[in-house]
A and B are shown apart, each in its own frame.
Chain A
């Protein structure tokens, strides 16, 4: 009848009902366990010790969080969700944007080289947009009290900002910024190409307005290349993370947090292509992903399960690779892949395990039937 008779300390601490008793002291549990101890005095010592052990764990890891704090966060979440619901087009983007995060099987140990975000904002001059009579740069800077720096030379020019950030302005580019930044944010306006060393200040995001996009970082280094009146704008992240928004959305939403749902987050080796005509932001992998991890990996595999190989690639390149972990565990890979690019590595791996892969939404999806036969 009683499952607890054989229990030792180890069993008690792992028992859900026992845990609940120690943790929440609910009446019915208290009654139950007091009664139990009375009836089973021989186990009292084990129970007391188990109780002590659990108590100390609970005490040690207790987190204080007001219900009010939670309510506030939930409200904020819901306001973002509602804003999203009102914007179906955007929602579609978001849906595809995140459809991999569900991949609970992907490994995570990440070794970020933390220092540099290299962000390329390249432009395709496919054709001119007739409707733009005034450049977005001019529009944005008009009427504002800003200092403008132009680089008409043939070499780059370095500019220091009041917050300690440094900008390397490329030829035929110009940038505007206030002499002193606002307390809550740092805004600069770019036309052309520039490399940014942004001093770290998480409380004061650094925003670069370029063409119809706003790129947001908290502090790091990156490059933006943006000419006026281009049809396509691309943002490439080499390392780290940036958020990119449409200016329309950015201006629309007062609340910084509500904004997050509108933007696209790009991490290492991801690229975003923005098409002016449709206002679509499409996420993909950059053409030639580089290794981000600071931990050197040899990529020499001998009978290594393909699942581990792909995990190593995920870690090294910081790209999400979606695959069936269980299935690919049964696919041994023996290969030396240190010299190849990411895509070449994937080609070889897929060749070996008779799988194929696709780029989807800034992620890599590996399709396999397994190797059990």
Chain B
């Protein structure tokens, strides 16, 4: 599983090509961020097709305003934030029966035990992981989201603050508190 690297020479060339209207470059960029976006998106909606549709819209919007778009450094968190907002809006519109206050962030495969084998292979006991997983699911949605963005998407606190629309200090506090809680349960 490759990690996107946001700031090397190739990337900025790719980015410039995209801004100049090169659709192949655009495809590569979309490819680069797709997995991150999807993975984040399905935490809010278990409907994978719905999430894919939202991502399609998101990228079409990115394409539409490619000429006015700025620095590549912000792309990832900008996309994550836009996706979050979009999913929220769309799901509010679709689910006219339920009227949730905020997005529910949760692991999509709760209860399943299909895990990448490599994770278990490490010297930790599976029982410990299971136990800790239960602990993670006991965290608040915000706590879960903050550790996801930090550990999974490698966003810094500033970016997380932007994505979640809270202050940087709030992110730092939340992150610290969450790690403490998990640590105590280890």
Contacts and interface: CB of A to CB of B under 8 A. Distances in A.
Interface string A186-210: 0000000000000010100000000
A84 B63 contact: yes
Contacts of A80: 56, 60
A369 interface: no
A10 B183 CA distance: 8
Interface residues of B, number: 84
B112 to A, nearest CB: 10
B128 A53 contact: no
B132 A56 contact: yes
Contacts of A295: 101
A110 B124 contact: no
Contact of A24 (B1, B88, B115): B1
Contacts of B57: 260
- Tell me the dominant secondary structure on chain B's binding face: helix
B148 A61 contact: yes
A336 B109 CA distance: 47
Contacts of B90: 241
A89 to B, nearest CB: 14
Nearest to B29: A74
Contact of B64 (A64, A76, A94): A94
Interface of B: 1, 3, 21, 23-24, 26-27, 30-31, 34-35, 38-39, 42-43, 50, 52-53, 55-57, 59-61, 63-65, 67-70, 74, 77-78, 81-82, 84-85, 88-90, 92-99, 101-102, 107-109, 114-116, 118-119, 122-124, 128-129, 132-133, 135-137, 147-148, 150-152, 154, 162, 165, 175-176, 179-180, 182-183, 186
25 contacts: A9-B179, A13-B151, A24-B3, A25-B118, A55-B124, A57-B148, A58-B119, A61-B43, A61-B152, A70-B34, A70-B35, A71-B31, A74-B30, A74-B34, A78-B24, A95-B65, A108-B81, A108-B85, A109-B102, A109-B165, A110-B92, A112-B99, A114-B93, A200-B94, A260-B56
